[in-house]
Structure 1
Amino acid sequence: MILANNKKAYFDYFIEDKIEAGIELVGSEVKSIKASKVSIKEAFVRIIKDEVYIMGMSVVPWEFGSVYNPEEKRVRKLLLHKKEIKKLHEKVSQKGYTIVPLNVHLSKGYVKIDIALGRGKKSYDKRESIAKKDQKRDIERAMKERY
């Protein structure tokens, strides 16, 4: 069950390699995320000292929580194997690659996040993807009218 989606990532980047990671959460953040009060639109991923962190991910504080609710946009650690971190670090060190959060979802009751290795699109690539999307929409519209 997808709780938050980053549609703009597919528009701004060529997505090459997807990895599912756990998120280190504290307090009532899990309840808030399960209530879909999470946003990853402005979020980005960084590798700091062989650990992966997501920054800018917004989790609205749980309204029935205590005064000890964590901050809304705090830095959260992502849980990955060392091999995966090393692989990501090697790719990101190359020019043009970045790590992009794609979606936050539930997997067997646990909150997970899909991150991907992305290569930035140029403006002409974006125009091309818009044109393809328009063509697909026109074809679907024609097929609907035909039947």
Structure 2
Amino acid sequence: MSEGIKIIATNRRARHDYSVDDTYECGIELEGTEVKSFRDGKISFPDAWAEVLDGQVWLRSLRVAENPFSSIFNHDPDRKKRLLLHKDEIKRLARKTEEKGYTLIPLSFYFKKSRVKVELGLCKGKKMFDKRADIRDRDVERDLAREFRRHH
């Protein structure tokens, strides 16, 4: 990635289970102790998703661990977090998610110029045969690369 970007976590499972049609970079509204947990990489989002409600995008099922050094001023680890996008992007996402089969999945979290960003993917679920085809294509590509290296 480019200069000034530090990846916190990526959701590799999302690219296996969903086909990603479009991606959006969004900011995320965090409380003070949540930022410390992000810096330590203490986040978990295996089944996280986003939804559009009342013109705002909310991230659900993202667990940000509590910071052990923040005493009584700690945050709720399971609260929903608001994502920061432009209004026209939110309208576009709302239209797309109303279509059958589309959902919003966080693909990765990273720091960009000391701000936490989320790469949000507009995804459609894959069927089992699609997953098998992807695995087969990846294996064939790996074998071709291996053969090419061996002959050169």
For normalisation by structure 2, the TM-score amounts to 0.89
Which secondary structure does the structure 2 equivalent of 1:67 belong to? helix
Q: Which sits farther off after the overlay, 38-47 or 100-109? A: 38-47
Q: Does 1:3 align with 2:8?
A: yes
Structure 1 unaligned segments of length 5 or more: list them: none
Q: Does 1:41 align with 2:40?
A: no
| Aligned equivalent of 1:72 | 77
| Aligned equivalent of 1:137 | 142
Q: Does 1:126 align with 2:131?
A: yes
CA RMSD of aligned residues (A): 1.5
Partner deviation per Cα, 1:58-82 (whole Å, 9 max, x = no partner)? 1111121122211212111111111
1:1-147 equivalence runs, <5 A? 1-143=6-148
Distance across 2 between alignment mates of 1:69 and 1:137: 47
Distance across 1 between alignment mates of 2:52 and 2:77: 21
Structure 2 unaligned segments of length 5 or more: list them: 1-5
For residue 22 of structure 2, what is the amino acid of its counterpart? D
Q: 1:94 to 1:138 in 2, by over 3 A?
A: same
For residue 65 of structure 1, what is the amino acid of its counterpart? S
Deviation at 1:133, TM superposition (A): 1.9
Distance across 1 between alignment mates of 2:143 and 2:66: 42
1:4 and 1:40 in contact (8 A); partners too:
no
For residue 28 of structure 1, what is the amino acid of its counterpart? T
Deviation at 1:137, TM superposition (A): 3.0
For normalisation by structure 1, the TM-score amounts to 0.92
Which secondary structure does the structure 1 equivalent of 2:24 belong to? strand
Distance across 2 between alignment mates of 1:87 and 1:106: 25
Deviation at 1:2, TM superposition (A): 1.1
Distance across 2 between alignment mates of 1:99 and 1:118: 6
